[in-house]
Structure 1
């Protein structure tokens, strides 16, 4: 039993170490635009049935309860919390935030599509609206160098005042992608996510349509990480780690005592 208890305590240490890593990543990205905090999910490992409930205890009776011994805990996965981050005003024409569900679409090098909540866009040398890394927004929208005030409507329609024109000219429309299971998207870094079989295909359409969020110009979405909540989780994780460490020390003392006695 002591050796099996050591194994169980070891799984507890590994689980809490993983949880602490997730918490650390959340806190590290507290100021990252559009970042969504992660949560660790754990599950019990297989149980060893020393006695099954209902098993015959005699010719006329059966055990009312079983004897099931757990073998520890394992990491089931991480879940991205999709709650809305606070919108922070910047006043910049190409700073965009999504109020509600959905993602901006970006074309990565090689043509792969990626998705992001970070709307800190700018113009490239040829006027194309791009991310900080220089990746173009999809569908691509080009703003002429001579364009005046740029306006982005809540439905994603981009207009600008051109020389000689009395009215604003429509340059294109920013579409928003939504997914049946957004938690199934794969994080690849640089605030980008990519589609997977678990997320389902992207459903692309105008902002504010079919449950998609609206676009707010001159705002950026802040991280949804709560420092206080993460610190509380960190303390709880630390205490759980300490308890599992003490368990290992206690089991080690039991083994020493058994060796000396026997």
Structure 2
């Protein structure tokens, strides 16, 4: 009887984790470049009372055995890197990767990080930085006297200083990809860092080696589908309620046993 209490408790804990993941997805429905997560679960060890295939007589074997599961646990939280919808901003420094790949930025502590959020700005020195001041890599510095900036789909950055001037190339924006993007570590602030699970960063020009081209004047919206998340939330809520009913039923059965004379 006590096993059912503990088993139901693991189910409630798992659904709480599931609800936490869903809540984070819904909270970031308007976050540019955000990628939704999905909680994944696995069953715990089994208490084997009779092994499957155990001899039950002369030339006879138990077809199923007796194995009682002891609950569930969270096996992992999977990131879904499917592309989000394009959000047109007409800001020349807003960039979207139309396909696979990440922008590479250098954080204040000298660490290399990766992001899908292409909302870049100029710092006081004219360098392109993200909203937290992390410098885009390779570094791009925009002169102060430019009248227009153009980013080609292949990442080439050109500026115009006058209406009759020839556009000048000032740099190249590269993107990086990973063998296993789901293995990246989420650091918050729309940033990811490399891990042994993700593999090494592979830098290339946009459009090469399976990466997407760049689109200027637009951002990638979150890939969270609010309807799907609401359905998942209801499912998690009902699963939590069902596990609580199991605990109540187990408690009532223990109460009946305690009341025996």
Q: TM-score, normalised by structure 1?
A: 0.97
CA-to-aligned-CA distance 1:3-38 (integer Å, 9 cap, x gap): 001110000000000000000000000000000000
2 CA distance for matches of 1:203 and 1:259?
65
Unaligned runs of 5+ in 1: none
Matches within 5 A, 1:137-156: 137-156=136-155
Match of 2:131 in 1: 132
How far is 1:163 from its partner?
5.0
Match of 2:46 in 1: 47
2 CA distance for matches of 1:165 and 1:261?
98
1 CA distance for matches of 2:74 and 2:51?
27
2 CA distance for matches of 1:165 and 1:200?
47
1:205 is the counterpart of 2:200: no
CA-to-aligned-CA distance 1:76-122 (integer Å, 9 cap, x gap): 00000111100010000000011000000000112211000000001
2 CA distance for matches of 1:64 and 1:236?
34
2 CA distance for matches of 1:92 and 1:256?
67
Unaligned runs of 5+ in 2: none
Match of 1:61 in 2: 60
Match of 1:241 in 2: 240
Q: Contact between 1:146 and 1:163, CA under 8 Å: does it hold in 2?
A: no
Match of 2:3 in 1: 4
Which secondary structure does the structure 1 equivalent of 2:186 belong to? strand
Match of 2:81 in 1: 82
Change in Cα spacing, 1:164 to 1:34, as seen in structure 2 (3 Å) is closer
Aligned-pair RMSD on alpha carbons? Answer: 1.1
2 CA distance for matches of 1:165 and 1:107?
36
1:29 is the counterpart of 2:28: yes
1 CA distance for matches of 2:160 and 2:196?
42
Match of 2:70 in 1: 71
Q: Contact between 1:155 and 1:206, CA under 8 Å: does it hold in 2?
A: yes
Match of 2:165 in 1: 166
2 CA distance for matches of 1:164 and 1:25?
47
How far is 1:58 from its partner?
2.6
How far is 1:61 from its partner?
2.3
Change in Cα spacing, 1:53 to 1:164, as seen in structure 2 (3 Å) is closer
1 CA distance for matches of 2:70 and 2:57?
29
Q: Contact between 1:87 and 1:222, CA under 8 Å: does it hold in 2?
A: yes
1 CA distance for matches of 2:59 and 2:141?
84
2 CA distance for matches of 1:254 and 1:51?
25
